[in-house]
Amino acid sequence: MAEYKAPLRDMQFVLNEVLHMDAHYQQLPGCEEATPDMVSAILEEGAKFAERVLSPLNQVGDQEGCQYQDGEVKTPTGFKEAYAAFVEGGWPSLAHDPEWGGQGLPESLGIVINEMVGTANWAWSMYPGLSHGAMNTLDAHGTEEQKQTYLTKLVSGEWTGTMCLTEPHCGTDLGMLRTKAEPQADGSYKITGTKIFISAGEHDLTDNIVHIVLARLPDAPAGTKGISLFIVPKFLPNAAGGVGERNALKCGSIEHKMGIHGNSTCVMNFDGATGFLIGPANKGLNCMFTFMNTARIGTALQGLAHAEWGFQNSLVYAKDRLQMRALSGVKNPDGAADPIIVHPAVRNMLLTQKAFAEGGRALIYFAAQQVDRSALSESAEEKQEAEDLLSLLTPIAKAFLTEVGFESANHGLQVFGGHGYIAEWGMEQNVRDCRISMLYEGTSQIQALDLLGRKILMSQGELLKRFTKMIHKFCQAHEGSAAMEPYTKTLAGLNKEWGELTLKVGMKAMQNREEVGAAAMDYLMYSGYITLAWLWARQAEVAHNALAAGTSEEAFYKAKLATARFYYDRLLPRTKMHADVMLSGADNLLALDSEHFIF
Amino acid sequence: MAEYKAPLRDMQFVLNEVLHMDAHYQQLPGCEEATPDMVSAILEEGAKFAERVLSPLNQVGDQEGCQYQDGEVKTPTGFKEAYAAFVEGGWPSLAHDPEWGGQGLPESLGIVINEMVGTANWAWSMYPGLSHGAMNTLDAHGTEEQKQTYLTKLVSGEWTGTMCLTEPHCGTDLGMLRTKAEPQADGSYKITGTKIFISAGEHDLTDNIVHIVLARLPDAPAGTKGISLFIVPKFLPNAAGGVGERNALKCGSIEHKMGIHGNSTCVMNFDGATGFLIGPANKGLNCMFTFMNTARIGTALQGLAHAEWGFQNSLVYAKDRLQMRALSGVKNPDGAADPIIVHPAVRNMLLTQKAFAEGGRALIYFAAQQVDRSALSESAEEKQEAEDLLSLLTPIAKAFLTEVGFESANHGLQVFGGHGYIAEWGMEQNVRDCRISMLYEGTSQIQALDLLGRKILMSQGELLKRFTKMIHKFCQAHEGSAAMEPYTKTLAGLNKEWGELTLKVGMKAMQNREEVGAAAMDYLMYSGYITLAWLWARQAEVAHNALAAGTSEEAFYKAKLATARFYYDRLLPRTKMHADVMLSGADNLLALDSEHFIF
């Protein structure tokens, strides 16, 4: 019943009108092919695939789930055919290096396509999605031979990849991992250990699966500085590069989860499996950090995805469902009641979803622009600047967007009243599928520590200063504009307060390191609200100019202005609470002895 | 893996030390038997039943769910036996009139028992829980004969009951309902129509099910003033009062839902079923309103239940799970890492759950006290006063506690990291089961309209004034107390602001009725935070006095003080945001034309 329609108008709005992606592509070496026409054509094809192939499989995937038997995993009906069509359409290779079979289009364009694919069917999207991590690892740290053997197969989509990090006793704390890698005479390694929560660890979509496994060499130092990366394929490649001997690894079981039932979450047992070292020994975590930002942007996308999906479907319902009359009088005299979209409380839920979905889109695309710049710019300075900005934005995007994405998914369900709780409408699946996003790729709390501890305080506030300067300049540029004042006045004030709060928290942290942990989550949410406020002000500016210049799309731009106003009036006041709480100190959390923590 | 332990110490704390329930019972006519010893004994027996019989069936119920076949519903393994034991133990009759076989104990004690039963296994608890509505209807509006025939069977637990309100096209808006009741020559009625979302509408726990059905007489006026109530039993009673002829009604299907899988949510088809009018014709909704408050307190309990359950289980996990070191240095030198309870972000989630669970308990029990007083007091004035207070507190308790209960359940899941998403730990079930509570018995948004529109503004602020006066007196009584100042200073300020905000919103509403709907949800949450702040201050007072007097339970009372402080420092600042938003006006919600609402 529920379905997805790619919001192409809004995607184009953010890409072209807000972020000027056309100019951005033209000035990046190797991206010249990404002309506006080309981008439009790709988006339209992507939309068709997402709407027609993936969206109809979303509910099927949830209801059937994956079936495990004797180490094999059967994906839900239609998943395999959809994957074949995805490969046939050339989608896996879109944003990869032509040297390994890619089409060489910019990474940001890949992210936009991922948005459509993921919103239509998040569980399905994780099969190609997880390959991404494996491809990035190989691309950055693999030898020529490794790239030739594995990367080309991943780029074509013929094989998929995984990242095998978590073990039963360690997720966040990878320093504790135990999987062993024993060197063999032929230069390979025997990998032994158990990995859990391996998304797409086993499935029936492709002939082979390439696992990137974190393990310890015999002489490795303890902790995070003794972790190395290994390529461990399900089938060892034969001489012709095809599928050869079965490797000594097996999926032991799959998890029964709250949601994303269509994706297999596997326990993977490595039993002396043959592996190949990738990158330098004991530097595995460092190697992974180089593209952690991209992976986290991929998960941040999930917040946007479920907000958008919930918004679309609850909006349709709110216009259709008749219940009660408007408090100010009958709006639909021909009906037995008014459509529920007339009620302010329903509109509040719809606008919250819209504000977070469209604001989130702007944030993701802006971050994607930095991904392009950090990868491709010819200026070392611009590269560094983009990388710094991205490293600041990544934890904000990941944690903030998934938190508000979950809130949005719940509003979508709530609009349906009791029907929202019933499976057939799809709204409760959207909530269940969304819930994982605040957990994997680092929980929200870990992102918050990364933001405040690592990105802000360890740079002595430098990364933040550069970002607040951008916001400051934006506000300055609009000084005296009556149209922009409702935004810039508030934004300038908050931007200033952001710096002051950072200073205060930083001073406290110098006295007591625990203050970082005590303030981090509120600091992160506060940062998220301001970041989105800046992006909503930018959207309002474009909309205002379009309306002032005259346009045939009045409805679209007016809705933008109404949503910007809603965001400033009804969502941004949350910063007050976060500011208060982050300054309340660590003592109200830590004074109580653990032993007194009882029920 | 997850389990429930009745928090008897805290329950006794709220009952005896905060609310002085012993004195309350002794001064209520008919409750003299509820001595402290008797209450203790009942709580202990209730705890055993909840912990040993119901808690172990909670996960089974979720995994097996109910099975539908040909109009029959099979409940999960063990549910039937547990129900038989419940009846055997005399639990259904606890708080009912001895005239119909009840034990005549106060309703508030029944609510405390419901807390344990419901927290251990919410899905199971809904079978006896739904009987409550049917019993209340019969008790208040049934004839002697109807009571003799049906009420006695419900009180003994031999039969269960339901409330059949919702139809496919109307839930909130009952005025639209279509089920017909045609008078027959013998004084009975033929009931025809389809009801949906009927909890416990069909099951295998008892021989008979008594449905209370809302339907329209042929000459009924349109809208809510044309609804009558009918008793429609699954089996018509025979001459001996036992199960006789099968009535013409049938469960058509059961819903596939997000949670509470162990409870059957039924489509009920009435096909000329024999029914008996209860209460006056066309006054069905009025009849129901008389006990709506009690039913809503029953649902408010669900917020507390899932917060408590999440807190207990995530606390155990947080003390056990080793991951990372504390930022201020190693706390657990013998372990590979520190238990995650050392991390401020984890404590923040634990304390949030504790503050809402224990604060919620105080609110529910306080409301339960008013239920007793409004039912049993011999003073008409006290009766009215209690009823008024209850009618103010009901929408707050129902909406606020279920909203923060859902937040709490999600914190419980989050503490487990990725494991929280996996079914076996039970944390995701807690979230799924909890989600319904914000929807049924009137959504949060409907409760908010009831509070602001009906209870506050329609009484010209009178109900609120009486409540804020109680809070004002409390603050006054502690003037000059250094121990209480951290609470009373903030509380007094907010209490004053509450009145001012009400006045401002009321003034706006006089200009534009839509302002009520636009402000209501934030007004309700604001009211909830203050109400709980008052109850936390009262708990802090008791804890402070106990510690000052010397106690062997230092840990318990210190934890109370720490939680009160946490509530004031880290949860209460949310009032600021709600105050801002509720004054932001209706225009930011309503200015956008429905047709411009697009994606």
Rg, Å, chain A Cα set: 24
Q: Cα separations (Å) of A116 from A53, A61, B307, B463?
A: 12, 17, 36, 51
Chain B hits for A311, CB-CB cut-off 8 Å, are: 599
Rg, Å, chain B Cα set: 24
Say if A447 is an interface residue toward chain B (CB within 8 Å).
no
- Per the CB < 8 A criterion, the answer to whether A517 and B328 are in contact is no
Whether the predicted pLDDT of A90 surpasses 90: yes
Measured in whole angstroms, the distance separating CA A387 from the mean position of its chain's CA atoms is 17
- Residue of B589, B593, B595 to mutate, interface with A, max A Cβ within 10 Å: B589
Among B312, B336, B596, the residue with its CB nearest the CB of A559 is: B596
Q: Quote the mean pLDDT of chain B.
A: 96
pLDDT of residue A420: 98
Q: What ipTM goes with this model?
A: 0.97
Say if B510 is an interface residue toward chain A (CB within 8 Å).
no
Whether the predicted pLDDT of A295 surpasses 90: no
pLDDT of residue A54: 98
Whether the predicted pLDDT of B1 surpasses 70: no
Q: Quote the mean pLDDT of chain A.
A: 96
- Based on the number of CB atoms within 10 Å of its own CB, is B16 exposed (0-12), middle (13-18) or buried (19 or more)? middle
Mean pLDDT of B338-358: 98
- Residue of B577, B593, B595 to mutate, interface with A, max A Cβ within 10 Å: B577
Residue ranges of alpha helices (H) inside A49-201 are 58-64, 79-88, 107-120, 122-141, 144-146, 152-156
Chain B hits for A591, CB-CB cut-off 8 Å, are: 562, 565
Strand-pair partners of A216: A180
CA-CA distance, B257 to A432, in Å (whole number)?
A: 12
Interface touch A576/B581, C-beta < 8 Å: no
Position A319, amino acid: K
Q: Which of A473, A467, A300 has its CA nearest to residue A395?
A: A300
Strand-pair partners of A160: A209
Position A544, amino acid: H
Say if B518 is an interface residue toward chain A (CB within 8 Å).
yes
Interface touch B595/A555, C-beta < 8 Å: yes
Interface touch A594/B341, C-beta < 8 Å: yes
Q: How confident is the model at residue B30 (pLDDT cuts 50, 70, 90)?
A: confident
CA-CA distance, A389 to B314, in Å (whole number)?
A: 36
Does the active-site annotation cover B441? yes
Among B255, B570, B577, the residue with its CB nearest the CB of A588 is: B570
pLDDT of residue A32: 86
Could you tell me where the beta strands, DSSP code E, fall in A238-296?
Answer: 243-246, 249-254, 265-278
pLDDT tens-digit series, residues A151-208: 999 999 999 999 999 999 998 899 999 999 999 999 999 999 999 999 999 999 999 9
CB < 8 Å from A in window 324-343 of B:
324, 326-328, 336-337, 339, 341-343
Q: How confident is the model at residue B131 (pLDDT cuts 50, 70, 90)?
A: very high
Q: CB under 8 Å to A43, separation ≥6 — which residues?
A: A6, A8, A11, A12, A112, A113, A116
pLDDT of residue B295: 80
pLDDT tens-digit series, residues A427-482: 999 999 999 999 999 999 999 999 999 999 999 999 999 999 999 999 999 999 99
CA-CA distance, B104 to A490, in Å (whole number)?
A: 60
Whether the predicted pLDDT of A1 surpasses 70: no
pLDDT tens-digit series, residues A199-256: 999 999 999 999 999 999 999 999 999 999 999 999 999 999 999 999 999 999 999 9
Say if B164 is an interface residue toward chain A (CB within 8 Å).
no
Shortest Cα–Cα distance, B81 to chain A (Å): 28
pLDDT of residue B73: 98
CA-CA distance, A77 to A79, in Å (whole number)?
A: 6
Query: Considering chain A, what percentage of its residues have pLDDT values greater than 70?
Result: 99
Whether the predicted pLDDT of B268 surpasses 90: yes
Strand-pair partners of A72: A69
DSSP state string for A517-567: HHHHHHHHHHHHHHHHHHHHHHHHHHHHHHHHH--S-HHHHHHHHHHHHHI
Chain A hits for B259, CB-CB cut-off 8 Å, are: 421
pLDDT tens-digit series, residues A100-128: 999 999 999 999 999 999 999 999 999 99
Say if A239 is an interface residue toward chain B (CB within 8 Å).
no
Chain A hits for B593, CB-CB cut-off 8 Å, are: 555
Mean pLDDT of B529-554: 98
Shortest Cα–Cα distance, B561 to chain A (Å): 9
pLDDT tens-digit series, residues B462-483: 999 999 999 999 999 999 999 9
Interface touch B315/A597, C-beta < 8 Å: yes
Chain B hits for A584, CB-CB cut-off 8 Å, are: 569-570, 573
pTM over 0.95: yes
Q: Can you say whether the dihedral through the CA atoms of A190, A195, A200, A203 is positive or negative? A: positive
Position B219, amino acid: D
- Per the CB < 8 A criterion, the answer to whether B420 and B428 are in contact is yes
Chain B hits for A512, CB-CB cut-off 8 Å, are: 328
Q: What is the 3-state secondary structure (H, E, C) of A426-449?
A: CHHHHHHHHHHHHCCCCCHHHHHH
Interface touch A422/B255, C-beta < 8 Å: yes
pLDDT tens-digit series, residues A416-434: 999 999 999 999 999 999 9
Say if B558 is an interface residue toward chain A (CB within 8 Å).
yes
Chain A hits for B336, CB-CB cut-off 8 Å, are: 169, 176
Q: Which of B308, B441, B515, B541 is catalytic?
A: B441
